[in-house]
Structures are given as C-alpha cells and as structure tokens.
Amino acid sequence: MITTSSFKTTKSEEIFAAAQKLMPGGVSSPVRAFKSVGGQPIVFDRVKGAYVWDVDGNQYIDYVGTWGPAICGHAHPEVLAALHDALEKGTSFGAPSALENVLASMVIEAVPSIEMVRFVNSGTEACMAVIRLMRAFTGRDKIIKFSGCYHGHADMLLVQAGSGVATLGLPDSPGVPKSATANTLTAPYNDLEAVKSLLAANPNEIAGVILEPVVGNSGFIPPDVGFLEGLRVLTHEYGALLVFDEVMTGFRIAYGGAQEKFGVTPDLTTLGKVIGGGLPVGAYGGRKDIMSLVAPAGPMYQAGTLSGNPLAMTAGIKTLELLQRPGTYEQLDRITKKLSEGLLQIAQEATGGYISAMFGLFFTGETVRNYEDAKKSDLAKFSRFHRGMLERGIYLAPSQFEAGFTSLAHTDEDIDRTLAAAREVLSN
C-alpha cells in the first residue's frame, strides 16, 4: 500500500520529461497528460487484474482500465493464452479470416440493433464511418450531437465534445474548417425539447442523432427516464436515424449494452474498447438495410489495413466469452454499487452514481444532467481528490470529464482500501 510519504515518482518524472521532448505533451493521447488535475502522469510499467505498477514500483488499484477495455481485468490469463496461440499464426492478414466471423456473430447475437457489423481500428473510425453511413442512407447532411458527448476526433464530431476536449477546455479544435462542422447541430444532453426544435427547424435535413446513451465523457451522466425513448420516437417521426455510440457502454452497461439495459433499439451502433480486449478495435453495425450500403456491398466507402486483424479479433472473442459467464454483470453491479455508494457517503457535498461497471462522482450538491451542469461542479476539489487518491495508491481517471470503470478483477478488499483512502483524502 502506498502512503503519501512513500509515494516516489522519480523515474516517472525522468521518463515523462524525456517524452515531452519526443511527443507533443509527452503522450499519445491528451487526457493521459494529467493537465486538468495537475502534477505529472505516472508512467506505467505493467498491469495485471485490477492493478497497475509504475516505473518506480508503486502499485495502484486501477479504475481507468485503459479507458474501458480491461473489464475482465488487465492481462487476463485466458486472453493472453489465446493471443499467444494466435501470434503463432501471424499478426495481420489483410484478408478474410474465420475469426472475424466469430466475433461478428457474437456482436450480432449480443447487441439488439446490430444485424450486420463492420470492424475498424478505433472508436473514432467507427463514429466517423457511421456518420458517413447515416448521410449516405438518408441523403441528408445534418446531424445532431449533444454537448459534452465525445465520439472520437473526426472533424465533424469535434463540436462541443467531451473527454479530452472538455478536459483541456478547448473551444473545439483549430484545424477543423467551418465547412466540416457546419452540418453538426448540438443540443444539451437530456433535453428532448431542444432536439425536437432542431428537428422541426430543419425538416428533411437531419440524417440522424448520435449520442452516448449513458454519458462517460462529461463525467458519468445517465439518461433521464424517458430521454432515450423520446429520441427513438422523435427520430422515427422526422425520418432521422438514431445512433447509439456504445464505444464505452457496449458490453459494460450490460452484455447487450445500454440499448439492452434501457430497452431502446437504435438504428445503428458504434462499439470499441471491450470488443478488442485491449487491442486496437472499433466497429459499427445496425439494420441490414442500412449496412448493405457499406462498400463493397454498396457504394459507401470505408476501409482499413488492420481492420479485423486476427489479434484484436482473438482478444475480443475471448473477452466476450469471459463476459458471457454466469454472474458476470451481477458481480460488476455489486462491486461498483459498493464503491459508488461508499464514495457518495464519504464525500457528502457530491453527486454521481453508477450503472454496472461504470461510475462517476461530481463535487457539487446539485444534480448533474448535462455538460453545463458538470462544468459547474468543483473542479479544483476534484483535482485535489485525484492527487490525494493517487498518493494513496488509487488510480482514477485524470479528469472530471471522464467516467470510472471497475472490472471483474476488483475485489471487496480493493473497494474497502479505496474507500479508506477516500475517507483520508476528503477528511483533510
């Protein structure tokens, strides 16, 4: 167990200093840089189960889980064994493999909206492709997204985005031409009236609505009762498509994702993270009549050298097999309930919650229903909390505008240790 006095990060600091000379901000993805929580990021040496060890030998209980993929725990022995076998056959084919059929069948069987699926290499690619598909199918150009939702870094989606964009307080992003975002309309999350107004004001022009069915990229924000159902009715009414971006929630909120949990079936779904078991993957899928437009079956072009590669397919297949085991989601719900309710009890002036293996905490007494609300929470207090927990061996997402993730590897003892650390940090 780390204590504040034993918390040494000398090697992390050396490696990160060198990294900043080699890579912008010293990282391969902005949110890893700890910009909004202060201090320096710790440099990972290895991960296993619910734990991370940094290059200085400190061990942490990990609630980021490489941003979602590690839902079965890091470096799961059965995933590693499957990958070892797959490696013997090569790392990339660039040609059809039976493994793609296996994972595709598992995804189609699990996710209510998906009748056909296309694999890509990231959630960004999946969301970029699904926007193109929405437009190809409807012949319309405009889309609606929600402020604070993040769907990867494709130009047309970098509008009032969450996650790292929100973390860094960027007003969107330079380099994105106005022409690329002119057709991207935004509404506050959980605001059906705002969506209805946009649909009515742009008759026959809106290809579809894309959202995180449970928001993780503004911090954890669940849909109001009736919000998802309302979007389903409105999009039907206006001939627009409904797209659930389940890159984060897929196979985490439930085996069939948020659409299974809430009983609302979109027209299209994007996936990522969990279905690659820690290797680069993304996917988009949905109604057969829509997916049949995707090249080479149809004219909508999308491609990728490493799409469907045998290693990501193997890790994804094994991960979903592990998640199919009886009791999985009951265990994830139990352990996350204990953590989330414990944190809220300790934190007092705080709000938040959890659904299955996804949780969040805002330091505010007000309800957080959208990104604007989230921004009003005490961000400075979150930063102090993050640092205090890190110094006690608890690794939380380094941004208020991210969700926390548990896994099948987290134990009651881990949760007890986490709550003990939170009591110490929040009592100071």
* 150 counts as catalytic: yes
Q: CA geometry: angle at 379 spanning 378 and 381, to 5°?
A: 70
Q: Which stretch binds ligand KE4 (CB under 6 A): 119-127, 134-142, 172-180, 369-377?
A: 119-127
φ/ψ bin of 35: left (φ > 0), alpha (ψ from -120 to 50), beta (otherwise): alpha
Q: Does 67 bind ligand KE4 (CB under 6 A)?
A: yes
Q: Which of residues 262-321 bind ligand KE4 (CB under 6 A)?
A: 272, 282
Place of tokens 């099948």: 408
**Which one, 123 or 308, has the nearer CB to ligand KE4?**
123
Q: Does 247 bind ligand KE4 (CB under 6 A)?
A: yes
Q: Does 150 bind ligand KE4 (CB under 6 A)?
A: yes
> Which of 31, 185, 253, 323 contacts ligand KE4 by CB under 6 A?
31
CA distance 301 to 294: 6
Q: Does 235 bind ligand KE4 (CB under 6 A)?
A: no
Q: Does 69 bind ligand KE4 (CB under 6 A)?
A: no
Q: Does 105 bind ligand KE4 (CB under 6 A)?
A: no
**x-or-dash string of contact with ligand KE4, 156-175, rule CB under 6 A:** -------xx-----------
**Which one, 218 or 328, has the nearer CB to ligand KE4?**
218
Nearest to 404 by CA among 216, 149, 247: 216
CA distance 362 to 94: 45
Q: Which stretch binds ligand KE4 (CB under 6 A): 108-116, 187-195, 240-248, 299-307?
A: 240-248
**Which one, 248 or 315, has the nearer CB to ligand KE4?**
248
* 273 counts as catalytic: yes
Q: Does 60 bind ligand KE4 (CB under 6 A)?
A: no
Q: Does 248 bind ligand KE4 (CB under 6 A)?
A: yes
Of 142, 145, 261, 273, catalytic? 273
> What phi and psi values does residue 53 have, to the nearest 5 degrees?
-120, 130
CA distance 149 to 157: 9
> Which of 26, 49, 216, 266 contacts ligand KE4 by CB under 6 A?
216
CA distance 154 to 124: 6
**Which one, 170 or 200, has the nearer CB to ligand KE4?**
170
Q: CA geometry: angle at 353 spanning 375 and 190, to 5°?
A: 55
Is residue 238 classed as helix, strand or coil in its secondary structure?
coil
Strand residue runs (E) in 188-343: 206-211, 241-245, 268-272, 282-286
Residue type, 225: V
Strand residue runs (E) in 17-148: 44-48, 51-54, 59-62, 116-120, 142-146
How many CB atoms are located within 10 Å of the residue 75 CB? 16
Q: Which stretch binds ligand KE4 (CB under 6 A): 50-58, 145-153, 181-189, 294-302?
A: 145-153
Q: Point out the residues that are catalytic.
A: 150, 245, 273
Binding site for ligand KE4 (CB under 6 A): 29, 31, 67, 122-124, 127, 150-152, 163-164, 212, 216-217, 245, 247-248, 272, 282, 402
